[in-house]
């Protein structure tokens, strides 16, 4: 870890960084976080255009995937997956 990053971590306690935001992005979008975590992510998104774009893109992707027609898998899929797993052992 570089000195600049280390110093930022010391002086900005209580804030989260980009990898943490991205790691919690699904929970953030699903509103499945503690209020304190949600507040920290919102604060980070206000100052980080990269993470804000990531969250926006992820939300759009989830919305688009939700619009896809539902399809039923073939009846043999479960058995095929089980066989593949057994053959890897």
pLDDT digits (tens, 9 = 90+) for 5-64: 555 554 455 678 999 999 999 999 999 999 999 999 999 999 999 999 999 999 999 999
Q: How many CA atoms lie within 13 A of 1 on its CB side?
A: 8
Half-sphere exposure of 84 (CA within 13 A, CB side): 6
This model's pTM is above 0.75: no
Mean pLDDT of 79-85: 92
């Amino acid at each position: 870890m570089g000195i600049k990053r280390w110093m930022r971590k010391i002086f900005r306690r209580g804030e989260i960084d980009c990898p943490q935001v991205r790691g919690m992005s699904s929970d953030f979008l699903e509103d499945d976080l503690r209020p304190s975590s949600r507040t920290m992510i919102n604060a980070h998104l206000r100052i980080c255009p990269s993470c804000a774009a990531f969250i926006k893109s992820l939300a759009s992707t989830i919305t688009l995937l939700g619009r896809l027609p539902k399809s039923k898998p073939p009846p043999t899929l479960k058995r095929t997956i089980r066989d593949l797993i057994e053959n890897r052992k």
